[in-house]
Amino acid sequence: MIYEKQHGVPRFQAAEFSPKQSDYCVCIPIINENGRIQKELKRAKRYGIPKLTDIILCDGGSTDGSTDEGLLRSLGVNTLLVKEDAGKQGAQLRMGLWWALERGYKGILTIDGNNKDSIEDIPRFLEKLEQGYDFVQGSRFIKGGRAVRTPLIRHISVVLLHAPVISLTARRRFTDTTNAFRAYSRTYLKHPKVQPFRDIFMGYELLAYLSVRASQLGLRTCEVPVTRAYPKGQKTPTKISFFKGNSDLLKILFKNMAGAYNP
């Protein structure tokens, strides 16, 4: 089914392989993950994740065969959304979040599709959503979490720059703020002072904004332990270039601190 572009939501196609089966879903943004998403989905299936939450792939236009319908069905994917419009990760997430809210989910998780994160830890997020939390951040840096082979420059950047800036903006301490493994309640995403469906969120802006807005509004937030493991002896899987990507990221962080994304 094709969904035409509307205010704050890109044009996209939806292929529903199964009806809604859970109160919760996990949206996974992908684009040409070169086998990594298949490994992640196999891992999820091994731990029974498709029985706990609906898996929704939010594709930015992959051309590497990773979105083959037969393959996705066999790996327990519930729905494939394919963006056919401008924008990067932020647009993919807006597509997925909008579609999930329209489908009636009580809460929505997100996780990267590059197999770095412990997708088997999804039950920890579901437990917190059931307890009434509105924003749940996964962290490798709290008790029970694990940071495996994190590049030194990334570790330093998160601990000394990214996390302090996000924490200051959020008005509460967060420890692993670049981590996209998190969960949002329906209440949070539908709050009139949040409004995530705006075209200003094209890239990383939406993740940064949603990291801070819940606590700013007095909603319930927490962290849960997760594992983030970088591959051994391989190029670091990332879509952020070292110089331009990190420069753009810093601009977003400080615009976010200044309240530029608040409605």
Confidence at residue 232, expressed as pLDDT on a 0 to 100 scale: 86
Nearest 5°: CA angle at 154, between 151 and 159?
A: 125
Confidence at residue 246, expressed as pLDDT on a 0 to 100 scale: 65
Taking the C-alpha atoms of 119, 124, 129 and 131 in order, what is their torsion angle to the nearest 10 degrees? 170
Confidence at residue 240, expressed as pLDDT on a 0 to 100 scale: 44
Tokens in use for 159?
């601990």
DSSP 119: G
Q: What is the pLDDT of residues 158-199, one digit of tens each?
A: 998 999 999 999 999 999 999 999 999 999 999 999 999 999
Question: Could you count the other beta carbons within 10 Å of the beta carbon of residue 189?
Answer: 22
**Per-residue confidence band for 248, with pLDDT thresholds at 50, 70 and 90:** confident
Cβ atoms of 56 and 96 within 8 Å: the answer is yes
What does the buried/exposed string (b/e) look like for 40-60 if buried means 16 or more CB atoms within 10 Å of the residue's CB?
bbebbbeeebbebbbbbbbbb
Taking the C-alpha atoms of 235, 108, 206 and 147 in order, what is their torsion angle to the nearest 10 degrees? -40
Q: 46, 214, 227: which is closest to 124 by C-alpha?
A: 227
CATH 3.40.50.1100 fits 2-257, yes or no: no
Mean pLDDT within 201-215: 97
**Per-residue confidence band for 233, with pLDDT thresholds at 50, 70 and 90:** confident
Q: What is the largest CA-CA distance in the chain?
A: 46
Strand, helix or coil for residue 248: helix
3-state helix, strand, coil in the chain (%, to 5): 35, 20, 45
Domains in the chain: boundaries: 2-257
Confidence at residue 245, expressed as pLDDT on a 0 to 100 scale: 52
Q: What is the pLDDT of residues 219-232, one digit of tens each?
A: 999 999 999 999 98
Q: What is the pLDDT of residues 76-129, one digit of tens each?
A: 999 999 999 999 999 999 999 999 999 999 999 999 999 999 999 999 999 999
**Per-residue confidence band for 244, with pLDDT thresholds at 50, 70 and 90:** low
Confidence at residue 182, expressed as pLDDT on a 0 to 100 scale: 98
Q: 236, 107, 227, 131: which is closest to 179 by C-alpha?
A: 227
Confidence at residue 247, expressed as pLDDT on a 0 to 100 scale: 78
pLDDT at 243 over 90: no
Q: What percent of the chain has pLDDT over 90?
A: 89
Q: Name the region of 87 (left: φ>0; alpha: ψ -120 to 50; beta: rest).
A: left
Confidence at residue 242, expressed as pLDDT on a 0 to 100 scale: 43
Tokens in use for 74?
């066999």
Mean pLDDT within 3-12: 96
**What is the average pLDDT score of the chain?**
94
- Which amino acid appears at position 65 of this protein? G
